[in-house]
Structure 1
Amino acid sequence: MKLKRISPLLLTFALVSPLALLARADNLPLSGPTADQSTASKLVYGLLSDSRYAYRPRALDDTLSADIFDRYLKALDGGKQFFTAADVARFAPYKTELDDAIRSGTLTPAYDIFAVYKQRVDQRVAYARGLLKQDFDFTGDERWYYDREDAPWPASDAELDGIWKKSVMNDWLRLKLAGKKPAEIRKTLDKRYANLLRSVNELKSEDVFQTFLNAYTSSIDPHTDYFTPRTAENFNQSMSLSLEGIGAVLQRQDDMVAIREIVPGGPADLSKKLSVGDRIVAVGQGGSGPMEDVIGWRIDDVVAKIRGKKDTLVRLEFLPVEEGVDGKHSMVTITRDKIKLEEQAAKAETITLPAHDGQPERRIGVVKLPAFYQDFEGRRRNPNDYTSATRDVSRLLTQFKADKVDGVVMDLRNNGGGSLDEAVELTGLFIDKGPVVQVRESGGRVSVNSDRHAGVAWDGPLAVLTNRGSASASEIFAGAIQDYGRGLIIGETTFGKGTVQNMVDLDRWPANETERFGQVKLTIAQFFRVEGGSTQHKGVVPDIAFPVSVDATEFGESTYDNALPWTKIAYVPHTQYGNFAPLLPRLEALHASRIAQDKEFQWWSDDVAQFRAEAEKKYVSLNEAERRAERDKQDAKRKSRQAERKELGLALDPLADDSLDDGLGANERDIVKDAAREKLADKRPDPLLRESAAILGDAVQVLGEDRKLSALVLPESTSIGSWAD
């Protein structure tokens, strides 16, 4: 079989439970896999065991089977709060059978383990709900150790009871500290635990299959994943930033699906009949199709009913947000359209740095890029008109040039990656033609991906702001900018993901007309910087470092036990626009002097230090007086900071009055207020972004004043990267 290559994807990582992302496309019982799932299992095995496709294939033997076994149990019960040691011992014979099950497509062991998991969830939820009938004593010195990943499996049901009692006590205490009364606490927690049971009971055959196959794929490497047809569709839509539907973000609340957000300019918005908080109770297709009651449905099934081809009709019966559960229903008919997910697209803003100490006022343009997205299908249809990160950023840079900004900061914080092509093309907006990244395939062949387009979109001062959440394509871009000496890298060391993935459609081999077998996000190569080093494990180290917000032992490529090691290959000749090493001591000194007077930056640093100290403990106290004292301390600090902001004339924190723990989960809060709170979060002070702009302003000023230093840092032979005034 010849593997058809498409544009390699450097995919965004997600720190969520595998079960939280599963999608259902059937109503099959959990008795075992379907014929299609058996076939898909064999196809995935063929891919992952073949060096023609997988960058680091692993033989599917008893050793790997044991690894798959451990990862499957972790996917189901990562917190070790359901299975006992006796359960795990009972599963032990499967340790050396899962390899045979995957090869043959006879996946009964996975379903057997899941059946026990469902039983244990039912038992634990019943126990937790029973605890709510009693009162709790919060005067002792008990602790809830919430990080149980490395804990041993509980030895008995009695030990599990103790673990769950402390978990319930913590849930209760959080609500009590937030001002809730016992009756309200009991009601909230009883519903919470019931919803946990319901969510597990709603899992279907396809969910179990995807979870199990991902235990296999993740045993190959951390970034190889299996997608069912529905999750593959969702992933591709997220990469293209577009879908066909009504333009509404939905959220599950109890038995109903509610509107969390309405996309501006989309069909739902243009209807003028739907509002945030409205609850959808039935969906009908076309102008006269029967209405299907969707109360109690999973959110992905409701979404599947509402989405559809452009220019088709969908009818929604909904309960308006202002109506109670027994209120009057309303109806709306909407024509579906193509929706652009603008919230995830590149955005621009301008930061004005006031004149000070002889420096003139400066204006720094900021591009916030959440992902390296591209509409691959749109590009194939029309290469002159498609959605892409590079095209969007190019337009923003053109506007910055027209506005005569003094410099540009590319904000890549929490940008988990995306398209390799986009990383290369985006780099090309800032360098004239040249190599951007090296790609080594499984056979050892190294190719160089280059920007082949002459000219640049921005030739002035540049900085790239990163954090630990900047990964993959972000690291290609930041690494290339650093290797070329084209701009300053500011912030935290990046994630350290140096591998390339490709989406492989399993339906292409049987030549199916319908989607049956899903897709695999397969690691096919490793990328290297033009200097020769890999970002794998090490990431991109900033020129000017901010305090580390997340420790490398907690988050990043280095936390994966089977990640590829760091290595290095040959250097690729490339233009050196500058060498910032002689400039960095001056910038560090100016940075240190400024943040010593910057209250917002100091507060952020203090919060980071406190967060890391708390995270190190891996437990919380169950003593009410101790927790209340800590809460009061946080409240006093919040009020003090807000008062100091007023006194100093700083922008107020719009969420200062809403920053204390309310003890609720996302689906338990008032959806209208929570959505509004989410919008306000974008308006919170951002001292890191402002300081990055200030550092870039310092660089422009210093290089303009010190011609000797400027000659060392930026050669005069090229106009690209000329920073001096």
Structure 2
Amino acid sequence: MSRLVRGCVWGWLAIVLWSGSAASVVAADDEYYELMKLFVDTFEQIDRNYVTTVDRRQLVEAAMRGMITKLDPYSSYIDREELNDFNTVVEQEFGGIGIQVTIEPKSRHLMVMTPLPGTPAYKAGIRAGDRILEIDGKPTAEFPEGREMDTAVKLMRGKPGEVVKVTVLHEGAAKPETFEIVRAIIKTPTVLGDHYQSDGSWSFFLPGEDKIAYMRLTHFSRNSADEVEQTLVQLQKDGMKGLILDLRYNPGGLLQAATAIADLFIESGTIVSTKGRNTEEQVIKARKGGTFSGFPMVVLVNRFSASASEIVSACLQDHKRALVVGERTWGKGSVQNVIELEGGKSALKLTTASYHRPSGKNIHRFPNSKESDEWGVTPDPGYEVKWSVEEMEKYRDYRAERDVLRSSGEPPHSDFKDSQLAKAVEWLKRELTKPASDSGKPAEPSKDENKEKTNSSSHAPGKPDRTGAGSLWPLHNIHAFLRVRLG
């Protein structure tokens, strides 16, 4: 290493050591200085004496990734190329196959969190919980440590019309299965109903039930809050009496979308708070006005409901606005700040805090967390409905059949009984037969209030404007970006 390069490195270290609010602490930390010196000395020895010439950037980036692998599965270094992909994920439009992948915390296996409805992967038969073994013949077990998901996403994405081979092991299966999937532009709505009608629109009312509405939210993206709000306005016009919000298999997404959706259902109080070691506690509260009330509500969750899904379900449960039915959720309640590096050419996604529900309880499931510990969102007492692997398989087939557009507009007959949904309907029917004073339902809104809400086109009165680009959190504040990637 030349004196000039070495001087630049030590100059950079001096800036690091003395910059920011930590200068007084770092200056007195001899261990910190010695460790940084060790890093520079090692870098210099490799650069000068390794048997072949090394790529300095690759060497430094490898060292950074190595450091981050000692933290948690949700922190990562985002290089120049990956930063474009990261921003694409936030925009929710790219060429790919439409599956969200994650790392199972204990086994470190690459898994499918969920295939997005209507996408090539969904149509091919990829399922939530599938373990991904190979992508285009490349074994996932050989992917670089700390870059498993990034590598998988890079291989799955590409030019629309091209084919990618994905080999998976279905949950409970003995042998793997290989799919040849044609890439497409992945851009899907996040709010879905029970089944397609003949005109291609979703039916949001359950067949055979008296005006009980059913709304599925696949993930939380830029337009999710507007989609939910517009659907609610139409459902109220159509005489909705009760609502089921299905967050099963929803892996999460943007914090702003989660808080805006929760805000639609509560009049006041805390939605979520974040707490960290070196960050001030942030408390996000509901704003008065524009609240959809006057009907009982159930939120459906399962073991694959994560992050933003847990924010919404925990908020509505703590405020007693909705009953939570299903299974205990995933337990992803950590906050990632995206910190720009090199003037925005690369970035560091670093876990800096954790989410806490309005009650103050913890959401995050740590690697050493036990089943008896406090994490995730647990269904209300008497309303936990656990599914076996076989039941999940049957549900996926059942759901896939109902997500096919049919000329008749009628949902297909199925012998499968969604016991979690049935439990939700059972509670709603019981609530709807009670007098308003006994059921605990919010009072029916006045005619003027209904008129005001119905006339709201882009955002509810008194709520934050969700239509403009500035309404979203800046990139470095997208706390709810999951350790989940979309390919």
Q: Which bin holds the TM-score, normalised by the shorter protein?
A: 0.5 to 0.7
- For the 8 Å contact 1:351–1:693, the answer to whether it is kept is no
Q: Are 1:528 and 2:347 matched, yes or no?
A: no
* 1:625-640 to 2 correspondences below 5 Å: none
- The alpha-carbon distance between structure 1 residues 420 and 108, as it changes in their structure 2 partners (threshold 3 A), is farther
Provide the residue aligned with 1:369 in structure 2.
Answer: 217
For residue 605 of structure 1, the aligned residue among 388, 409, 415 is: 388
Question: 2-side partners of 1:344 and 1:532: how far apart?
Answer: 32
Per the normalisation by structure 2, the TM-score is 0.54
Number of the residue aligned with 2:424: 696
Task: Give the Cα separation in 1 of the matches to 2:433 and 2:217.
Answer: 32
In 1, Cα distance between equivalents of 2:119 and 2:265: 32
Which string of whole-angstrom CA distances, capped at 9 and with x for unpartnered residues, describes residues 690-725 of structure 1?
Answer: 434433322232123344xx75651666759xxxxx
SS at match of 2:69: helix
Deviation at 1:493, TM superposition (A): 1.0
The 1:302–1:536 alpha-carbon spacing in structure 2 relative to 1, beyond 3 Å, is: closer
Amino acid at match of 2:431: L
Counterparts of 1:456-495 in structure 2, within 5 Å, are: 456-457=291-292, 459-495=294-330
Offset at residue 262 of structure 1 (A): 11
Determine if the alignment matches structure 1 residue 412 to structure 2 residue 412: no
Report what 1:714 is aligned to: 440
Q: How far does residue 497 in structure 1 lie from its aligned partner after superposition?
A: 2.2
1:595-632, Cα deviation, whole Å (9 max, x unpaired):
xxxxxx9xx636269x9xxxxxxxxxxxxxxxxxxxxx
Deviation at 1:455?
1.8
Aligned pairs (5 A) from 1:337-416: 341-343=186-188, 345-349=190-194, 350=203, 361-374=209-222, 388-416=223-251
* Counterpart amino acid of residue 402 in structure 1: K
Indicate if the aligned counterparts of 2:297 and 2:323 stay in contact, CA closer than 8 A.
yes
Match of 1:519 in 2: 347
**Structure with the bigger percentage of helix:** 1
Shift of 1:98: 10
Q: Distance in 2 between matches of 1:489 and 1:426?
A: 16
The equivalences for 1:544-693 within 5 A come to: 557-558=366-367, 605=388, 607=390, 690-693=418-421
CA RMSD of aligned residues (A): 5.4
The DSSP-based 3-state class of the residue aligned with 1:534 is coil
More strand by share: 2
Partner SS for 2:264: coil
Q: Deviations over 1:560-593 (max 9, x none)?
A: 89xxx969xxxxxxxxxxxx97xx65x78xx8xx
* Equivalent-residue separation in structure 2 for 1:213 and 1:240 (angstroms): 27
- The Cα shift of 1:426 comes to 1.1
Larger Rg: 1
Moved more, 339-348 or 97-106: 97-106
Equivalent position of 1:231 in the other structure: 82
Amino acid at match of 2:306: A
* Maintained 8 Å contact 1:431/1:455: no
Pairing partner for 1:101 from 36, 39, 46: 39
| CA displacement, residues 393-412 of structure 1 (integer Å, 9 cap, x when unaligned) | 22222232233334332222
Deviations 1:308-360 (A, max 9, x none): xxxxxxxx9x99xxxxxxxxxxxxxxxxxxx97433633333466565xxxxx
2-structure distance, mates of 1:220, 1:490: 33
8 Å Cα contact 2:191-2:216 kept in structure 1: yes
1:447-458 residue pairs with structure 2 within 5 A? 447-457=282-292
Contact 2:296/2:431, CA 8 A, preserved across alignment: no
- Partner deviation per Cα, 1:367-415 (whole Å, 9 max, x = no partner): 33232223xxxxxxxxxxxxx2212222222232233334332222232
How do 1:422-433 and structure 2 match up within 5 A? Answer: 422-433=257-268
C-alpha spacing 1:532/1:299, structure 2 compared with 1 (3 Å): closer
Cα–Cα, structure 1 residues 504 and 235, in superposed 2: closer, same or farther, change >3 Å?
same
For 1:131-146, what aligned pairs fall within 5 Å after superposition?
none
Name the count of aligned residue pairs: 336
Shift of the 654–704 alpha-carbon distance from structure 1 to 2, 3 Å rule, reads: closer
Superposed CA deviations along residues 157-209 of structure 1, whole A, max 9, x for unmatched, are xxxxxxxxxxxxxxxxxxxxxxxxxxxxxxxxxxxxxxxxxxxxxxx997776
CA distance in 1, matches of 2:315, 2:44: 47
Going from structure 1 to structure 2, the CA distance change for 1:240 and 1:219 (only over 3 Å counts) comes to same
Could you tell me how far apart the structure 1 residues matched to 2:118 and 2:432 are? 48
> In the TM superposition, what are the counterparts of 1:156-195 in structure 2 within 5 Å?
none
- The verdict on how the C-alpha distance between 1:101 and 1:440 changes in structure 2, with shifts beyond 3 A counting, is same
Distance 1:436 1:488 in 2: 16
Instruction: State the distance in 1 between where 2:71 and 2:273 align.
Output: 23
* Contact 1:364–1:408 (Cα < 8 Å) also in 2: yes
**In structure 1, C-alpha distance between the alignment counterparts of 2:185 and 2:249, rounded to whole Å:** 21
Query: Using the alignment, how far apart are the partners of 2:153 and 2:335 within structure 1?
Result: 32
Gapped regions of structure 1 (runs ≥ 5): 1-34, 54-58, 63-95, 116-203, 252-260, 265-297, 308-315, 320-338, 356-360, 375-387, 538-556, 568-579, 592-600, 612-637, 639-649, 656-681, 721-725
Indicate how the Cα distance of structure 1 residues 50 and 340 shifts in structure 2: closer, same or farther if over 3 A, else same. farther
User: Whole-Å Cα distance in 1 between the matches of residues 390 and 84 of structure 2?
Assistant: 39
| Contact 2:206/2:214 (8 A) holds in 1 | no
Instruction: Give distance in 2, aligned partners of 1:460 and 1:103.
Output: 66
Whether the aligned pair in 1 keeps the contact of 2:98 and 2:119 (CA below 8 Å) is no
8 Å CA contact 1:206–1:228 kept in 2: the answer is no
Distance 1:501 1:482, change over 3 A: same
One-letter identity of the residue aligned with 1:217: I
Q: Deviations over 1:518-567 (max 9, x none)?
A: 11111222221111111122xxxxxxxxxxxxxxxxxxx44689xxx969
Q: What letter corresponds to residue 521 of structure 1 in structure 2? A: K
Q: Equivalent pairs: percent with the same residue?
A: 22
- What do the CA deviations read for 1:489-515 (whole angstroms, capped 9, x no partner)? 12211122222111111022xxx7xx3
Distance 1:250 1:351, change over 3 A: closer
Distance 1:99 1:105 in 2: 10
Corresponding residue for residue 69 of structure 2: 218
Q: TM-score, normalised by structure 1?
A: 0.38
Q: Compared with structure 1, are the counterparts of its residues 433 and 212 closer, same or farther at alpha carbon in structure 2 (3 Å cutoff)?
A: same
Q: Could you list the per-position Cα deviations for residues 434-464 of structure 1 after superposition, in whole angstroms to 9, with x for gaps in the alignment?
A: 3201122434632311122512246523222
Q: For 2:334 and 2:154, locate their aligned partners in 1 and report how far apart those are by CA, in whole Å.
A: 30
Over 3 Å counting, the alpha-carbon distance change for 1:353 and 1:206 in structure 2 is same
Question: Structure 2: how far apart are the matches of 1:485 and 1:237?
Answer: 36
8 Å CA contact 1:654, 1:684 repeated in 2 = no
